[in-house]
Chains A and B, each alone.
Chain A
């Protein structure tokens, strides 16, 4: 599904990603954990080229993201993204947030787009909010809408960039439940997260990143119970309060 080969990313003199290679298969649910500043978000944002990689190659379904002839917009349609701060469009209603791109980019009619959007709102449990504006929603509701908006483009991969980090604790579960549902349906997902319990129970692979490198790429059980790297151990001790 996604193949990353020798990816580098520098911000000026700062090397954020150093020679990262990885392969994500269809149906994989990859949780990416690691200390802040380790390059997790940057790595995720390179996968749809919101960040321009400095060197290396990224292939999404065989298409080279870095090749000059590649239409990045077509690839982004297949790669949904959910942000920490939701980034809903505040001047549009919830329904319009969901229907805008399918109509503009995929040629959906208003009727078809609405039907699809309502089905997605059902899925995230917010059908009654269709005509609300984003600022009338709680954080958890906003994030569920943001997930529905990404799904409206019928992506084959979903990228989650710390989807619960900006939420009040009591709203985290409703968002994680929606993500859990997606995982059950077989969606390919990459999730940058600090929710260790969620990572452990939902992901089938875990990346531990530190200082711009993927130090461990293994199963959650293996990583939590039997971490290989000293730095992984240190990190887990800190976050799990062991």
Chain B
């Protein structure tokens, strides 16, 4: 009997604590319309990711095609037969970008290049450009691996039928490569979304930064962080689900 009373008491207390905590959460996120920081931060993160993703994919395709090119201007000169300036340039780009931290690239772009007359460029544009340039290198490697990973016989069969290189690429190689590339590309896009959280280094107010702002106003460190973490998780989960659906649709012929 005595025990039961203390258990009921305890549950009662828990309930009070819980309601109190809800009030606290309400105060953290709704007081002073602080949730707007998160919404604006979310918009900034998504905007930067989309811009960077677009630049990354376009750049990645170009760099991959450069890597795969067969351009040997000095093939008649001894020792230089295998010299391909276009692919060398592309590989140098990939090595440079992959070999340095994204945050360093971001800060160089913001603090050394976008200065003077370019000073008023929106941070979202600088960030999108920086992450796009960064992502382009990774996307290029994904595309190159996808194309090189295809059976060499596919290109040979297409060429043997009389297809010019461009037609063979468009009809035979790229449709097969896209299927192989897609999962890796999805990973890259998710990485990109999360990586934009370093944009605070150049003063951009993204999701993570919005959590910091709320912390500084409310002295609560855990809840804002958990909240943005949850938002990142939901974003990537929705995106992943969507892309798995597309992958399934592409698998008809397998």
Chain A residues in contact with chain B, CB under 8 A? 48, 50, 73-74, 76-77, 79-81, 83, 85, 87-93, 100-101, 104-105, 133, 135, 146, 149-150, 153
| B151-199 interface with A by 8 A CB criterion | 151, 153-154, 156-164, 167, 171-172, 175-176, 179
List, in ascending order, chain A residues with CB within 8 A of B158's CB.
89
Nearest CB in chain A to that of B254: its residue: A135
A233 to chain B, nearest CB (A): 35
Let me know if B164 and A91 touch, CB within 8 A.
no
Nearest CB in chain A to that of B167: its residue: A104
B6 located at the interface, meaning its Cβ lies under 8 Å from any Cβ of chain A in the complex: no
Between-chain CB contacts (< 8 Å), 14 pairs: A50-B159, A73-B163, A80-B160, A83-B156, A83-B160, A87-B154, A89-B172, A90-B253, A91-B253, A101-B162, A104-B167, A104-B171, A135-B253, A150-B160
Nearest CB in chain A to that of B154: its residue: A87
Give the CA-CA distance A125 to B175 in the complex, in Å: 29
B147 to chain A, nearest CB (A): 14
- B175 partner, pick from A87, A91, A150, beta carbons under 8 A: A91
- CB 8 Å contact bits of B125-168 with A (1 = contact, 0 = none): 00000000000000000000000000101101111111110010
Let me know if B176 and A90 touch, CB within 8 A.
yes
List, in ascending order, chain A residues with CB within 8 A of B179's CB.
91
List, in ascending order, chain B residues with CB within 8 A of A87's CB.
151, 153-154, 156-157
Give the CA-CA distance A48 to B167 in the complex, in Å: 18
Let me know if A91 and B176 touch, CB within 8 A.
yes
List, in ascending order, chain B residues with CB within 8 A of A89's CB.
154, 157-158, 172, 176
B168 to chain A, nearest CB (A): 10
Give 5 nearest A-B pairs by CB, closest first: A87-B157, A77-B162, A87-B153, A81-B160, A76-B162
Nearest CB in chain A to that of B152: its residue: A87
Let me know if B159 and A105 touch, CB within 8 A.
no
Nearest CB in chain A to that of B160: its residue: A81
Q: In the complex, which of the residues B158, B172, B252, B253 has the most CB atoms of chain A within 10 Å of its own CB atom?
A: B253
List, in ascending order, chain A residues with CB within 8 A of B160's CB.
48, 50, 76, 79-81, 83, 150
Give the CA-CA distance A50 to B164 in the complex, in Å: 13
- B161 partner, pick from A85, A90, A92, A105, beta carbons under 8 A: A105
Given contacts A89-B157, A90-B176, A91-B175, contact A101 B163 (CB under 8 A): yes
Give the CA-CA distance A76 to B167 in the complex, in Å: 14
With A83-B160, A87-B156 given, can you name 15 additional A-B contacts, CB distance below 8 Å?
A50-B156, A73-B164, A76-B160, A77-B162, A88-B157, A89-B154, A89-B172, A89-B176, A90-B253, A101-B163, A104-B163, A105-B161, A105-B167, A146-B157, A150-B160
